[in-house]
Chains A and B, each alone.
Chain A
Amino acid sequence: MAGRGRGRGKNVSFNVEALGFGRGEALPGPISQPPPLFPTADFKPVPFQQSEEYDYMLALKQEFLGNMRKSPFFLQASHKRKDIERYSDKYQAAAEVNGKWKPDWRRLPAELKPRVRKKTKSSIKPSVKVKSKVKLSVEDVSKTLEELEKKEVDQGDEEEEEEEEGGKKKEEGEVEEEEDEIYDEEDIEEETDYILSYFDNGEEYGNDDDDADEGPVY
């Protein structure tokens, strides 16, 4: 547009010589493709600095990474393929237990604690227990029997059904209680697995060389 007035035939509006192109010199063609992914280097890279310091740091680096991978902070992918049961499996599992790490909950927000199922279960309990306690009072047994006799005379069959229902409820309550106990045990087991039985006397620390199947240390 702007070049319409002056330089006929040229496609730039300004004097190309200002850019340093000589008179009559061809302008470079347009570039219509991205630069190559692996451009050829005009200059070879310089060799590494060799010194004992670097060699030692290299060893430190590799050792640190190796230790990091064996530490409890390294999370293995949970969906490990279990194609066949191997003889070595149980030893690997043992190795993982060795490196358990127990977070200090005094320093972490409470919401990060692994959830314990116990709390949610206990909320159902009370309603059942109250009923069963009333039934179980021993001294009143004779009285209630008497009362029931009276009522039986008065109201007949209807009352009997209610009585049966009550019995059933009591049984259910007991079953539920038993279930709760089982859960509790599980929970405790889990807890101990994670916290109480944790004791690291540091013996395992450092001599991880035995578990060669952890992956290469490079």
Chain B
Amino acid sequence: MTRRQHDVCRFLLFQQFGEQVSVVGKYLLQKSPSPLHLISSETHLDTEQVKKILCILIQQNIVTFGQHKRGFIEYSIRTGEILNRLWFPKYIYCAKTLYGDAAELLLEDVLQRGQVQMSKVIEVVMQRFNEALETSGKQKISESFVVDKFSNLVRTHFLQRCLDPIKSESNKVVGLEVTGEEETLYRLPDLSRKRKKSHDDGPPAKRSKSERPADDEGDGIFWRVNNERFHQMFRDQAIVQAISSKIDRSAGEVLRAMLRVSEVKTAGMATVTTPISVTEIFNALPKDLMARPLLETYLSLICDDSTNFLSKVGDSGGGMYSINIYEALAQLVKAHIESVVQERFGSKCLRIFRVLLLKKHLEQKQIEDFVMISAKEAKDLLYTLFSENFITTTEISKTPDHAPSRTFYLFTVNIQHVASMVLNRCYKALYNAMVKKETEVNEHRRLLDKQERMEAIAASVEDASQRDEILNTITPSEQEQIIKVRRTIQMLDHSELQICEGIFILEMYLMYFKQRQKDKS
């Protein structure tokens, strides 16, 4: 966790939950597992207020708790959960493209409340969706339609159950269960039970044995969004998109089919998918997209490509292929960093950078020769890159005294190092954009408020001349300024979204890099 990430986390909390929450968040970011009384005394907030804040943060899956071995309860913050909030718009959009508008509303509601019960969220979505349909004059939908969407999302693991609380002997909640089986997280409750309850009381649900929940408390099963599943989805999308723009769309489809097949078989964080035979790929492809010989050609084409996304691992079953996810992400990150170098330092620097990526270790003299730029300029560019930490040197001394005159200085690019540096800059840029947006809004709050109020009043007035009069209270110069501010905010929001795209690829790559290190050792 770097300082930049901390800043972003703090700001996100401030933006979405208010100032006091960000104060508690800041404290927890620094000293993560802490008991309640410490938090309230260190943050100088009222204990009751801190309790409320912790409840909110637990509800939003940001804080978890567990029992210390001395018996008190400790609260710890999950920074990943806060940073995931950056991608919420993307999650919602993803749900929309996969399952339509009802799923979009569903996901929006789940994300907003953090943990929800199925019956409640369905009720809310039903109402909202039907209202929207009514205004556009379309047919209403039934409850089973929304229930269907919900179960679809659960079945594809986009939604999962929240962890059940562990209770102590005195029936107090002391922590959250650690589930052994993954399957239980995605088990839907028996939907027919609700109907049974109405005429005979039926067998009590598993959890309600100790305390019968009142009707408005629901079934006690809470659902949340499964972030990892979404990230996996985005990762696959990025890989497919990369190959489709490099070769063509059909190649992308082949890869997509492979990823879909391997999804079920491969463990969550495996750097290489399990081998899949050509037959399996062929069966998974949409029908009449391509004939089998063409598929085999495509597979060998992707294998031979310099990107190393795919590799042939066996000949059984018409040929076994597996996708190297780590390699694919590394290629994406390289492309990302290359474009950063190009846009920041120009194409000549990019040439130096590429030469170093290709040849790994080079002496200064060799670089000057390889890039075919005049020695003086090359030297200048090389040291610019060096001072910005995009390249590093390795000293190899001929003698043990490391005297400079008897030492080779080899320049090299360490992709993992550069990736984490660029990532850090992304977070910094993101934080700056967010802060700038906030100040921009605060500076012009009076003006924006006024406009909004006027519009609200104008909307309620029916007489046209009166409405014009009201709208004219905003002077032309004010109008101009409002437009300017709105444009700035729009731009900053846009930049936030697009920085997030970059952050996603970099984060993914670094995660897989760590995983690979772990696998190796």
Contact = CB atoms under 8 A, between A and B. Distances in A.
Interface string B5-24: 00000000001111111000
A138 interface: no
Contact of A58 (B18, B54, B404, B494): B494
A73 B114 CA distance: 10
Contact of A112 (B51, B90, B113): B51
Nearest to A41: B344
The prevalent SS among residues of A at the interface is loop
B422 to A, nearest CB: 15
B436 interface: no
Interface residues of A, number: 56
A206 B48 CA distance: 29
A76 interface: yes
Contacts of B202: none
Contacts of B345: 42-43
Nearest to A19: B404
Interface in A76-130: 76-78, 101, 103-104, 106-115
A68 B16 contact: yes
Contacts of B59: 73, 101, 103
B89 A46 contact: no
B504 interface: no
B56 interface: yes
B311 interface: no
B441 A106 contact: no
Contact of B112 (A68, A103, A113, A210): A68
Contacts of A29: none
B452 A75 contact: no
Interface string A42-73: 11011011000110111011101101110101
Given A109-B73, A218-B448, A74 B18 contact: yes
B128 interface: yes
A61 B85 CA distance: 10
Contacts of A103: 55, 59
Contact of B56 (A58, A75, A104): A75
Interface of B: 15-21, 36, 48-49, 51-56, 58-60, 65, 73, 88-90, 92-93, 108, 111-115, 123-124, 127-128, 131, 162, 165, 172-174, 207, 211, 213, 216-217, 220, 222, 343-346, 364, 379, 403-405, 441, 445, 448-449, 452-453, 455-456, 486, 489-491, 493-498
Given A110-B172, A207-B131, 5 more contacts: A18-B404, A43-B343, A46-B343, A58-B490, A107-B173
